[in-house]
Each structure stands twice: as structure tokens, then as C-alpha cells.
Structure 1
Amino acid sequence: MLRAVLAARSPACVHNGRYLYSSWTAHAQVNVRSSAPDNIVENSSQTGNHREQGPATAENLPAAVRRFVDAYRTHGHKTAAIDPLGLWIPMRDVPELDPLAYGLTKDVEVNGYLSLGQRTTLQNLTQALLHTYSSKISVEFEHMIHQEERQWFAQRFEQLMGEPIPAEVKKQVGKILLKTAVFDSFLANKFPTLKRYGGEGAEGNLVFVDEIIRLAFAGDYHDVIACMPHRGRLNVLTVNLGYDPSYMFRKISGKSEFPDDVKATGDVLSHLFTSTDLTAEDGKKLHFSLIPNPSHLEANNPVAVGKARGRQQSLQAGYYRRDQENDKKVLCVQIHGDASFTGQGIIAETFGFADLPHYSVGGSMHLITNNQVGFTTTTGRSSIYASDAAKINSCPVIHVNGESPEDIIRATKLGFEYRERFGKDVVIDLLCYRLHGHNEVDDPTMTQPVMYNAIKARKSVPVLYSEALRQEGQLTEEESRKVSEEYDGSLRQALSQLDQFKPKAHHLERQWSGLVQAGKTVSSWDTGFPIDALKFIGAKSVQIPDSFNIHPQLLKTHVKNRLRAMQEGTKLDWATAEALAMGTLLMQGFTVRVSGQDVGRGTFSHRHAALTDNHSNELYVPLNFMVDNQETHLEMCNSTLSEEAVLGFEYGMSIESPKRLVIWEAQFGDFFNGAQIIIDTYVTSGETKWLLQSGLVMLLPHGYDGAGPEHSSCRIERFLQQTDSSETTVDGDDVNFSFVNATTPAQYFHVLRRQMVRNFRKPLIMATPKTVLRLPAATSELLEMAPGTSFQPLLPDPSANTDTVEKVIFVSGKHYYTLDKIRQEEKKRNVALVRIEELCPFPTEAILKETRKYAKAKTFVWSQEEPRNMGAWTFVNPRFRNLVGVELKYAGPQELPAPAVAIGHVHQQQIQDTIKQTFE
């Protein structure tokens, strides 16, 4: 036996739990990793099953009996007693379960199946099948595509139903349930008006997590990455994971969960999280991360999957194929709510990663905390089960009664073994209830009178299981009292010493050590690179094996043009600058991941970082073969047609390691709005809420070229509205993210490299070009990327005569090239065009320096192609006035309800009007 000691946020926080290498857990390894044929389940007599011979299977039963058994395997769940309240049974009359339908009326031959001997009565067989498939646990698996999986699942489930739970495990679970009852009671008594979203009625969550930890220890796992909504979250944190309750009490008292000298706004009580080490007596380690969650239910699912994928990659050298051994080192656990699992589209989007290259994690363990009510209603779905959405991926589903802890253990073990064996997702539907309303001060009886009459009449799960263990002699009344009193005492002590408690920040530890929080001043970072190395990388970025059949058009344009540009050191386009940035980072020991829809080629057929063999369809990424035995890799990930889940996944990847540059590119800039929840709750606010740094880059193609409302704007105004940039105080690096609208490839090169070169991480949002990708005027020279060069938040006008300029036009992004062309054609020599390349942090000092150069300037103009109520105007105008002391004149389209017009001649008229306003 083992006693696990959970070292959590402080040395004083010690949680004792017993994670046991009993025959119960050890058998999982024997069974899952056995070399026996897949249609054989090994003899389990050593696991506590008292059958003298190996378990017989249904596969060798007489035909009629086999059909009867298959009926229970398929339909048994419809009559199962899985609702602890007894109010719901999917179907009470299931004709398929009538033995007469199969001609069975008397004794039947069963050949040892379910330990029934060679022959038995029909009644005995029926009772055995009812016990197995229609009791407080049942399964759905006949929808699974592969026969091998269905057969294994049925046999292993039938075997587990015949195996007793080890006494040590029962006792451990009994103690956990007693502790969670004490925890809920303590908070209810001390803070009666607190909205804590307690775990009463759903204590099975803790049984599930406890069994996951036990199985992970037994399976030599390195990490568990878990996500969970608010319901019962505090219980799991404190009871299962040893989270120091002092942080929780400090939060309840109205103080920050972080030290006072750390810049953070924090998050609400029910969103607290932890990243903690579990250590077993024999020295085994298991790191358990319960990631932060926003109030937007299920938004944390793809974040957890992305973080798990990132952790798996940190443990392996290869990035292009799933390393199944490392999949078994990191387990992703997703805990859901029933109404949200059915109602949120991100569920289906995240399931879409299950077997997708560059996104799969070798299966997740899912638990639906099915309290049978969504907010206050029970009419929240059309499907029979809350878990039906999981069938999109042919997942097995295990339904289990929340009042049967031992069946929850069986369900967890079965799912864990299935995931290990087949590398696929599995879903446990835990039917339970909610003791209180939506929160502890809500009255649910107004909308759920029948349900809450049934709830009030029931004893709690901890009480019921304690009574059962006492009857078995497993946990005496004195032992139960001692567990409860000791845990209550530890909570009382933590609360009484709250005034002396000093919180610690744990945000820059482990792989994040060495980084800092950004400062209040803007720093300049040398992001240049030696010219010879740049030429080497540029050549390698288009070098392919002799046996590779490249598309002939790419050979003429992409390859030859890049080689020529690298040789001459001029006319480097956007894609070349990007390849150089990524290649230099790879050479410096960073990994790079680019994700999105068709990013290998690029939406505008400009990137071609991943090449497709013209004969075999095989992919080749040249930057991964710059040197022999290259250790760092560029991962080009063509994603599903999803924004919200994919961006959440990439955010999860980015918070796992500061050594990985993670880039998400929208197909068009405005497509980010499908991911608005991830942007609002994670990308733009994750550091201030949770102290989680992220270097995520969002590339959003932007530019008005007549494409109409949906393919023109990346909604610059929305992002600028979300910055914590001040209108009256000069910005520093400590703004929550950078927003860049660069105009040259060299600027793009530098800003990508800056993401990794800095000693802190901040998200970068970029309005990237479309037509400018191939614009001859928008090219750079290698010298602009040489050592000593860096990203410039403002680009002065190189051709303006400061002594004669009367009008200074400020502009950002692609619109600069439109105006510059007109200026040259019409020879407007008294005008200066100044580009603001980085809108946030707002480059106050650079603008002040620039405006002082134009002593004779009488007019300062802000010109943009976006409508007046969009773009950067409402952001830059007050900052020019308050920080620079300059009154700007607006030049651009007037207010519109849509980002752009879709009538060609109106669009052209807008352009002409904007040009006229700008130069008049």
C-alpha cells in the first residue's frame, strides 16, 4: 500500500490520501498491455474474482442465447437504475429484452458465461444480465465502429462487474466522501450566503478523480491535465488535490489569492485552480494540473487538450506522429456539466481533435456531472442522454448512478483501460443531483418541485456509503468520526490563522522559471540575426529531396524567387520573412507551431511552408531539415474548420511551455469572432486573472479590397477596446497584449522573433496583409534583419522634408500603400506619411519625437480605410490628444453597421472620398 502526500501551494498544505497498488489497479496494466489476442480477456482470479476458471465470454454461446445477451449489451441501459432520485428511466418497456423474442422459455446452455455454469435457468441468466447491464451502472458501446473494440469493451465490463472492489479502496473512498461532506458543511455554516457551487449531490466527482489518481500512479503517468466547471470544483481542489484552503478563505474574505505585489485582478472563488505534485511513498511523482476555467461552460475543454498535447510533446522528440508511449505519460481529463455538454458547440469542435494529426492526445477521460438540471430547467436537450453528443466520435459511454461509489470506481477503471488500450476518448455519464439550486442562495423549488421533494427525502451520498461500509465492517463509526473531526479541525485552523497567511505566486515556476512579469516601460529587443545564417535558412526553407515531386508552378515561383531574393538580399516578401523568423527561432532552440485552416499552403497561397508531393500527397516541411538530427521542429497544423476550439487548443499549447512559439492564423481576419469566448476569457485576460503568461500569436488577415462585409476587417476596434492601455498614462510592456498592424516583411520578422526573445510572454494580435503579400512596394532587405535591428513601433516617412511638410498623416497597415501611391503620383511633397506599426502598447514617445520634427506642420490627420466607428480611430484619437498633445482630423468612411460595403462602385467611391479627405 502507498500513502500519497500531496505537496501543493505551500509546505503547510499537506493532504494525505492512499493511492494503492492493489491487485485492482495492477490488473489494469496486465490486461491492457498484454500480448494476448484482442478477443480474449485474461484470467482475473488474481484480482479478487473468485471464479476458479477464466471468465467465459458470450462469443461461444448458442445462437439464441447469444442474441439475447447481445440485446442486453445493446439495450440494457434503457432500463438501468442510473438515476439516484428514481424519477427517470430511459424506457420502462423494451421489447428487445423479452427472452420470448428469441425463443427462450426454459433452461439454457451458457458454457460458464457470467459464472453461471454450463447450464442455468432462464431466470438466472436474465437476473445476471440485469445485474450486469441494467443495474446502477450500464454501458452504450454497440454504436462503436470497430468490432474489436466492442468485443473488448463488453468482455471487460462483464468481468469488472464480477470483481469486488478491494477493501482498501473502499475505505479510501469512504474517507474522501466524509471529507467532502465536512467541507461543504463547514462552508455552509461559516459562510451561509456564499455562492460556492458546492458538491452536495455530486460527490461522485471526487470518487472519479480519486480513482483517476490511483490509476495514473499505477500506470506510471507523468501528468494529469484536467478541466472542470464550477460545480464541486472547490471540493475537488481541497479534498482530492490538497489545495491549501487558506487561499480559498482569503478569497472569500475579499482579498486577492495572489501576493499584493503581483499585478493581477484575480478571478472568482469558483474559478480557482492548481498545479501540484502528488508524491507516493515509493517516490513516484504525478503532476496534476487543474487548469483555470471561465464562466463560459466547456470553454476550458480545448485548452486542457492543447495543454496536454503540449506536455506530451515536451516529453518526446518527435512532433509529427503520435508517440503512444508518451500519450500514456500524460492524461487529459475533462469534467463537464450535463446541460452544457449537450448545448455547447465547442463540445463537438473539441471532439473533432480526437484522431486529428497535430491535435490528438491519445484519448481523453470525460466525466459528465449530470445533475439533471441546467440552471433551473430540465428541458435543455432533445437527445435521450446528455452524453449522446459523444457518439459523434464513436465513443463508448458508461452511465452510472451517482449514489453508487463502487460503480463509479468500476466505470472509471473501465474507461481508463479502454483509453490506454485503444488511445481513444471515453465518456462517463454520472447521474446525480444538486442539493441546492443554481447556487446556495437560489430556491429551486419554484421550477423543480418534484425533483426537490425527492432530493429532500434522501440521505447524502457520504452518509449512505458510510453506513454501507459500517455494515460491511470496513469503516467503523469511530473511524468515520475521527476522519470528519480531523478534517474539520484542519479547516478551522486554516480559517483562524488567515490573518497570518501570506499567499505565494506560483506562476513562474518549473519550465517557466527565469521569466518575469513585464515592466512598466517599453523595452527594445535586438531581434536581428547574422546575414549568413539568414541566407542559409532562406535556402533551406525551399530545399527539397531529389525524390520529392514539387508542383511545377511552385518550383518556378516559390522556390526560384526565394533563392534569388536571398542571393541578392533584396525584395524579400512576407512569406520569406516569416520563414526566416521561424527558422532562426528553431536554430535558437525554440519550437514553432502554426495552426489554422490550410496554413501549410496559406489561405492566399503564399506560405508553402509545408509542401505536398505531386504524386504521393506526402507532406514535407523543409525547415525541419536544416541540419542533421535537428532537435527543434516547425509544426504546420492544418486544423478542423473550427475557430473557438482550435484557438482554445493553441492557447493551451502556449501556456504549457515558454519555449514554443504558437501561431494561430484565421482564414480571414473576421473569422476570429467564432472564437470570441476564448479571446475574451483566456487570450486577453488570462495573465491578469490567473498569472498565466502566453506568447500566443493570432494572425488575422485584414484589408479593404472590395471583398464585402465578411472578408475585410479583423475588427481592430474590438481588440483595442480589450487592451488595458491607458488614454492618459504612457504605456509600457505590461499591457495585456500587443496589437500590431505591420507594413513590411522585416517588421513581421522582428515582431515574431520578439515573442520569444523577450524575458516575458504576452499575446500578439496581428492584422496581417492579403493583397500586400505580393505587393512589390511591400518588400524588405536582408540588412533590415541584421544584428542590431529590431521591431519599430513607428516607421517615419523616409522621403519627407521636415522643413517643408505642412501636413502629417498618421496611418496604420495596408492603407499606407494606397496613400503613398497617390502621394507619389500627384507629387504631394508637403505631406508626410507616418506609419504606426504597433497600436498597443501605444508608441507615445516615438510619436512625440516624430511630431517634433515637423515644426511647420499645421494639420495632423488620421486616415483609415475602416468606417469611423471601427478601426483604430476611437483608440488613437484620445491618446493623441491626451498623451501627444495633438488634435487629429479624421479621414475615412463614415459610420457603418457592417464592416464593409458589398457594392463595387460604392466601395470605390469610399476609397476616393477617403483619399480626398486625407490630402485636401
Structure 2
Amino acid sequence: MTPAEAFGGQNLAFVEDLYYRFLEDPSSVDPEWREVFEPMRREAPAARRFDPPAPRSIFDPAPTSGGNGAALDHADLQLQDRIDRLANRFRGRGHMAARLDPLDRPRPGTTELDPATHGLSEADMSKPCYSELVGTKMAVGQVIRRMRNTYCRYIGVEYLHVDDVEARDWLQQRMESTENRRVLSRHERLRILTKLIEAETFEQFVRRKYLGAKSFSLEGGESLIPLLDLAIEQAANQGIREVVIGMAHRGRLSVLSNICHKPPREIFREFDDSHSDRLWGRGDVKYHMGYRSKHVTSTGKPIDLRLAFNPSHLEFVSPVVVGRCRARQDRSGDHDRRHVMPILLHGDSAFAGQGVTQETLNMSELPGYEVGGSLHVIVNNQIGFTTPPESARSCQYATDVAYLLKVPIFHVNGEHPESVAQVVQLAMDFRDRFRRDVFIDMYCYRRHGHNEGDEPSFTQPKMYDAIRNRATVVQSYVEHLVAPEVGIGQDEVEQITQDRLDFLEEEFAAAREDAPEPEPEPVSWPWDQYQGGKDKDCPRAETKVPAERLSELLVKSTEFPEDFKILKKLERILEQRREMAAGERPLDWAAGEILAYATLLTEGAPVRISGQDCGRGTFSHRHAVLHDVTDENEYRPLDHLAEDQATFEVYDSPLTEQAVLGFEYGYSLDRPQSLTIWEAQFGDFANGA
């Protein structure tokens, strides 16, 4: 550590101790430090005082000029050390005191955030401090208030584990400079309110019209709708052209209607089952259905939205969605991963409990599976069917499994939409800047049971007594908006609500009419060029290849640069393939496989294969990737068959079956012109997948 680096808040106690040692015996410190301390001793030999250079402000990042002329004595340094230690506790543990639960149930808390724990008394609150927190003097009490506002209001942030120093400093500056609060315009607040009203009126309308029907309502978590709306708006502004969403059943109908623009009449028809003939071959429950649509943001930017179909197996859709996004990126040449983004919605119990979660996260920064970062949103109902968190996981937060990625985790109270807006902006900016996954853990509740016919009070009587007596998210936000200092009128709120109710009534009436369904706006779909149906109706593909061409390709698959040194055993294997090409040896399985890939590649069909050890092949048969014995560089002969050939990708996957298979399945859905292969390392490994 150099002297210049040491003059920071956390190091001041160290510098002070070093200075005292210098005063007692100059030879006891390094010569570099003696050069720093000697002028100080000459200028103030009796007082043992020095004026440190002004540090960079966190709340006001512009550097200030040195010290304001105020020398710091030993007591000042002690005070600064204590406030700096407390400030770092707020950064690391402030989330423990944040008001995250909309039901206001007590949290364990921590004494680490108590000023007294760090030796700060009430008498210190009015004293000026000079630390890394500020570039000018500020009262100790004011610093503590700002840290509490930043880390302990309705947002709790875990970010000190982030392994990228630049990312960690960027987050800290962004949050502390604004006290973690987003300043919203009147227009932005009305937009948030409108999306909340859309969410609430849709759920209440469905419950009223289809009493007792299962819809897996979003009530209690309505802030998810403005959250997604804000994320998609920001994504479009950052250059994203396509968003693929994966989610389970909870709130799915609301997302279909209010985010993906599926006409409510189509959803109502599914409740009525009045046109089941039109769904021939697509039979599934309504809260598993997918959708595609075009969306235009408030700033006029177009963006394609796709909601993936969902299986009943929770979390299994996540790797499928990520695979779809990677395929769309590869198909369009988006190798910087800038134009397609996954949004993955999770339930708290499923995210913590399903092993495929960890598998998917582990893949997210690997070369064969990265997509430039996913936005993860945990819709945290604080319950799984009837199972409370203390019985559902061995950790504090549902998101603790995400620690393995070393990225920020934002916990937010879903009953405070403007706090939700702040974390969406931070999360999306982080993803855009650092190209990594990011997590929003939105605390909310489930107003009804697991489904609308379930009685949750059998197992959570106190929780549901509090929920039944609680105002809705819309009601509490309206109360905030109509306050004089905000100035949105009650009449505006009523008009937005009435307009939405009128729209739903019109859609409900249209659903009962025996009229053709409106044609959805066309969205590009990679399978449009392919024809399905009975075999006799499908065109026959010509698959024969001349023997001379096969021999030529097999020889090319064994070639590598002269200065590339491979293992002697491998040289013999490749020599045997050349003998096969010459007709001197029968073809084996590996040669046949290589030829299948080579003919596809030279005809313009991409090939992608992933799985454990698939580059070499578990049984040393494939050798699609050659390794130099001197420097372990890699060479893939199938990349060098022809100048205009398609891409050949082979990736050794992590030791997982479920997520990799899901990823490759998703990849195949959105890149049908590619041969996409998942290879189980051994046949029985397919069992877990």
C-alpha cells in the first residue's frame, strides 16, 4: 500500500498509528512514509496533528480541494474511524434492517447498525466528521441518516460480495449519491399507477366473472406488472430488440394481458372453453400458454415480446428461455449479446428449492451458454403453497443461491412501487453495463390461497388475517399520489380505473360472440418456412452425397496446421480416418458422425453440440477439438472445410443434465435450421435430465 492509497477512511487509524511510530522512532517506518511524515512534524511538531488530503465524496463524487483547512487531531481520527466502520456495516448489512415485508412482520435485525456498537454516542451526532463518505464536513448524525435512507428503507441490497471492483464501486456511487431513490416525473407516476390498475382490475374482473375458477391470481403482487413494463421500456432504450420471458403459473394471465397484449377476449374464451376446436393439438391449461406480440414503448421503440410456454415442473422453463435467447442471438449475428434479453420470473420457494435453478445460474457465464445477462425477478409471496420460508430453505433469503454468480441482489418491498422503479433502473443499468445476470427479490404476498379455491388460513391463520385486513397495492399507492406534495387528482385515478373496466367489459362481451378471433399482429417465427403434417404431404429431402465428396471431407476433417503438435496416439487415430477416406479401412462410427456434420456444414446448416466431454467424446472417439501438446491451444478441423461453410460449435458442458438439456431444447426451438445436439455423457445420465 502506498501513502497515496492509504489516506482513505478505512485506513486512517493505520496511518495514525504509523505516524505515532514515526514520531517515536523515524527508522521504524519505511523511507517512503518518512518522506510523507517529515514535513508534517516540521509544521506541527507539538500537536501531533496533520491535515489529510480530501477524499473523493460518495454522495457528491466530484473531488474537493484539500481538507478545508481543518487539521485533524487524535479524537477526530477516532471519530472518523468509527463512522467509517459503521458506514461499511450499512453497506454490508443494511438489508437486515430494511422494511421489505409489506405485512410489516418483525425481522431479526442486527446490532451491527447501532451507532453505540461502534462507540458513537448521542453527543457525537452533531460533531462534524471528515471521512470517505463526504468531501466536506458533515455532521455524524447526517451521515448516518443518509446511510439509513440508502440501505434500510424499502430497498435492501446485497452487493459487497460482487467480485468486480468496478461494478461494486459503480453500484455504491449510484445508490449513495441518490440515497437509493428514483426521482419520478408526474408522467412516470401515472404510468406506474395505470399498470397497477390494469393488474388489479384484471384479477378482480376475472374473479367476479368466473367465480371459483383457477387463475392463480397476482393479487398482492401487482407491482410485478409495472416492474416488467419499466424493465421492457428501459431494455428498448438500451438497444434490446427482443425479450423472451419465462415464468410459472402465478400471475401469468395478468402478464399475458397487461404486458404481452394478449386480447382479454381470448383469455375469457379459454375460461369459457367456447372455441376448443381452435386449440386442437394445443391442449393445455390457460395459465401455461405462451404468446408472441409486438410492443411499442412510450418512446416509440419497437420490441418483440415472447412469453414461453410453461411446464408444470417449476423452474424448468428458465434454461429453455436462455437457450432460446442464445439461438436468436446466434441466428441474427448478435455475438455481442446486445439485442436479445431473457427475463426470468421465479417463485420464492421454487427458486430456492429446485436444483435446476443452480444449474442454470452456473451456466450463465460460460462461453457456450452466455447471453449477456438475464434479469431475474423473484415474486416473493413468502410462502410456497402452505410451506413457510423456515421450512422451505436453510438460508435467510430465497435468492441466496444466486451468491455463486457474485452479482448484486436487490430486495424490495413490492408495496412501494417507486422503490420497485428504482431497483428496476439499477438492475437494468447494471446488466447493460456489465453484461451479467442481476436479481430483484420483490417481497409481496398472495391474497388468496395457492389457487382461488384453496383455504390458506388452515395453515397460516395470522398471516391471512393480516392480508384480509390490508389495503391493496393500488389503494396504498393512490393515497401517496393524491397527497398535496405529489398532486395527482382522485378524479384522474377514477378515470383510469373506469376506462380499464369498460375495456374489460367490452372484451368480455366480444368473447361471448360467435365471431372470428382478431388476427394477431404478425411476429417473425423461425419455423414459418417449414412445412409439417403427414409424411406423404412433406417434401422429400435429397440426402445422398457423392463418394468422392465424402472422401474429400473426411480427409479435411483430419487436417491441422503444421506447427500444431498433437498427441502421438491422436495422430494414429487421424491417420486411420485418412485410410478410411481412401477406402483402405471400413468406416467406423466416429468417421460417419464427422461426415454427417461436415456435409451439413458445407451445405449451410450450422451444427451445435454440447455435453460433458463432447469435444473429445467420452470414449475418445470423436476428437472434434484437437489440443496442442505444447501450449494446449485448440483447433477444430470442422471449422476449416470451406470458406462459405456454416458455423460448427462444440462445447464441453458443466456437470449437469437438466439445465443443459433444457438450454439446448430451447436453442433448437429458435434455430430450426441448425442441428442442435445434447449428448449425455453416459446413456443413464439422460435419466436425470
TM-score, length-normalised on structure 2? 0.84
Aligned match of 1:527 = 543
2:140 is the counterpart of 1:122: yes
The one of 300, 318, 327 equivalent to 1:310 is 327
Q: 1:314 to 1:650 in 2, by over 3 A?
A: same
Aligned match of 1:679 = none
Residue 663 of structure 1: SS of its match in structure 2?
Answer: strand
Q: Quick one: which amino acid aligns to residue 358 of structure 1?
A: G
Aligned match of 1:650 = 664
Aligned match of 2:496 = 483
Aligned match of 1:345 = 355
Aligned match of 1:173 = 192
CA contact (8 A) 2:57 2:132 kept: no
Give the deviation of 1:505 after TM superposition.
8.8
Aligned match of 2:647 = 633
In the TM superposition, 1:744-763 aligns within 5 A as none
Aligned match of 1:466 = 478
Identity of matched residues, %: 36
Residue 632 of structure 1: SS of its match in structure 2?
Answer: coil
Give the deviation of 1:520 after TM superposition.
5.6
Give the deviation of 1:454 after TM superposition.
0.9
Q: 1:374 to 1:479 in 2, by over 3 A?
A: same
Residue 367 of structure 2: SS of its match in structure 1?
Answer: coil
Residues 774-808 of structure 1 deviation map (CA, whole Å, 9 limit, x = unaligned): xxxxxxxxxxxxxxxxxxxxxxxxxxxxxxxxxxx
In the TM superposition, 1:313-328 aligns within 5 A as 313-316=330-333, 323=335, 326-328=336-338
Give the deviation of 1:648 after TM superposition.
0.3
CA contact (8 A) 1:469 1:475 kept: yes
Q: 1:564 to 1:633 in 2, by over 3 A?
A: same
Residue 334 of structure 1: SS of its match in structure 2?
Answer: strand
Give the deviation of 1:88 after TM superposition.
4.1
Q: Quick one: which amino acid aligns to residue 427 of structure 1?
A: F
2:361 is the counterpart of 1:361: no
Aligned match of 1:377 = 387
Q: Over aligned residue pairs, what C-alpha RMSD do you find?
A: 2.6
Aligned match of 1:663 = 677
Q: Quick one: which amino acid aligns to residue 529 of structure 2?
A: G
CA contact (8 A) 1:259 1:503 kept: no
Q: 1:166 to 1:548 in 2, by over 3 A?
A: farther
Give the deviation of 1:257 after TM superposition.
6.9
The whole-number CA distance in structure 2 between the counterparts of 1:625 and 1:256 is: 54
Aligned match of 2:342 = 332
In the TM superposition, 1:388-787 aligns within 5 A as 388-471=400-483, 472-498=485-511, 499-502=514-517, 509-519=524-534, 521=536, 525-557=541-573, 559-568=574-583, 571-628=586-643, 630=644, 632-675=646-689
Q: 1:594 to 1:560 in 2, by over 3 A?
A: same
The whole-number CA distance in structure 2 between the counterparts of 1:140 and 1:258 is: 50
The one of 119, 123, 127 equivalent to 1:103 is 119
2:83 is the counterpart of 1:71: no
The whole-number CA distance in structure 2 between the counterparts of 1:41 and 1:316 is: 42
The whole-number CA distance in structure 2 between the counterparts of 1:656 and 1:41 is: 48
Q: Quick one: which amino acid aligns to residue 146 of structure 2?
A: A
CA contact (8 A) 1:259 1:502 kept: no
The whole-number CA distance in structure 2 between the counterparts of 1:626 and 1:167 is: 60
2:220 is the counterpart of 1:208: no
CA contact (8 A) 1:549 1:613 kept: yes
Residues 690-730 of structure 1 deviation map (CA, whole Å, 9 limit, x = unaligned): xxxxxxxxxxxxxxxxxxxxxxxxxxxxxxxxxxxxxxxxx
2:206 is the counterpart of 1:187: yes
CA contact (8 A) 1:258 1:504 kept: no
In the TM superposition, 1:894-905 aligns within 5 A as none
Give the deviation of 1:439 after TM superposition.
0.6
CA contact (8 A) 2:129 2:140 kept: no
Residues 83-103 of structure 1 deviation map (CA, whole Å, 9 limit, x = unaligned): 0001142x23x2221223333
Residues 735-788 of structure 1 deviation map (CA, whole Å, 9 limit, x = unaligned): xxxxxxxxxxxxxxxxxxxxxxxxxxxxxxxxxxxxxxxxxxxxxxxxxxxxxx
Residue 265 of structure 1: SS of its match in structure 2?
Answer: coil
Q: 1:285 to 1:537 in 2, by over 3 A?
A: farther
The whole-number CA distance in structure 1 between the counterparts of 2:287 and 2:164 is: 40
Residues 879-900 of structure 1 deviation map (CA, whole Å, 9 limit, x = unaligned): xxxxxxxxxxxxxxxxxxxxxx
Residues 369-405 of structure 1 deviation map (CA, whole Å, 9 limit, x = unaligned): 0000101120211111111111122221111001010
Give the deviation of 1:494 after TM superposition.
1.9
Count of residues in Structure 1 that have an aligned counterpart in Structure 2: 612
The whole-number CA distance in structure 1 between the counterparts of 2:489 and 2:155 is: 27
Q: Quick one: which amino acid aligns to residue 172 of structure 2?
A: A
Q: Quick one: which amino acid aligns to residue 289 of structure 1?
A: R
The whole-number CA distance in structure 1 between the counterparts of 2:57 and 2:297 is: 30
Q: Quick one: which amino acid aligns to residue 508 of structure 2?
A: L
Q: 1:199 to 1:508 in 2, by over 3 A?
A: closer
Q: 1:281 to 1:191 in 2, by over 3 A?
A: closer
Residue 386 of structure 1: SS of its match in structure 2?
Answer: coil
Aligned match of 1:153 = 171
CA contact (8 A) 1:370 1:429 kept: yes
CA contact (8 A) 1:537 1:580 kept: yes
CA contact (8 A) 1:225 1:289 kept: yes
The whole-number CA distance in structure 2 between the counterparts of 1:611 and 1:233 is: 47
The whole-number CA distance in structure 2 between the counterparts of 1:413 and 1:281 is: 16
Segments of 5+ residues of structure 2 without an aligned counterpart are 1-54, 68-76
Q: 1:128 to 1:282 in 2, by over 3 A?
A: closer
Give the deviation of 1:640 after TM superposition.
0.7
The whole-number CA distance in structure 1 between the counterparts of 2:518 and 2:118 is: 67
Residues 672-701 of structure 1 deviation map (CA, whole Å, 9 limit, x = unaligned): 1111xxxxxxxxxxxxxxxxxxxxxxxxxx
The whole-number CA distance in structure 1 between the counterparts of 2:547 and 2:101 is: 69
Answer with 484-493 or 208-217: which moved more.
484-493
CA contact (8 A) 1:202 1:433 kept: yes
Q: 1:347 to 1:282 in 2, by over 3 A?
A: closer
Give the deviation of 1:478 after TM superposition.
2.0
TM-score, length-normalised on structure 1? 0.64
Q: Quick one: which amino acid aligns to residue 293 of structure 2?
A: T
Which has the larger helix fraction?
2
The whole-number CA distance in structure 2 between the counterparts of 1:457 and 1:545 is: 75
Residues 827-877 of structure 1 deviation map (CA, whole Å, 9 limit, x = unaligned): xxxxxxxxxxxxxxxxxxxxxxxxxxxxxxxxxxxxxxxxxxxxxxxxxxx
Q: 1:442 to 1:522 in 2, by over 3 A?
A: same
CA contact (8 A) 2:182 2:419 kept: no
Residues 105-152 of structure 1 deviation map (CA, whole Å, 9 limit, x = unaligned): 3145456987x8833333322222211111111101112223332222
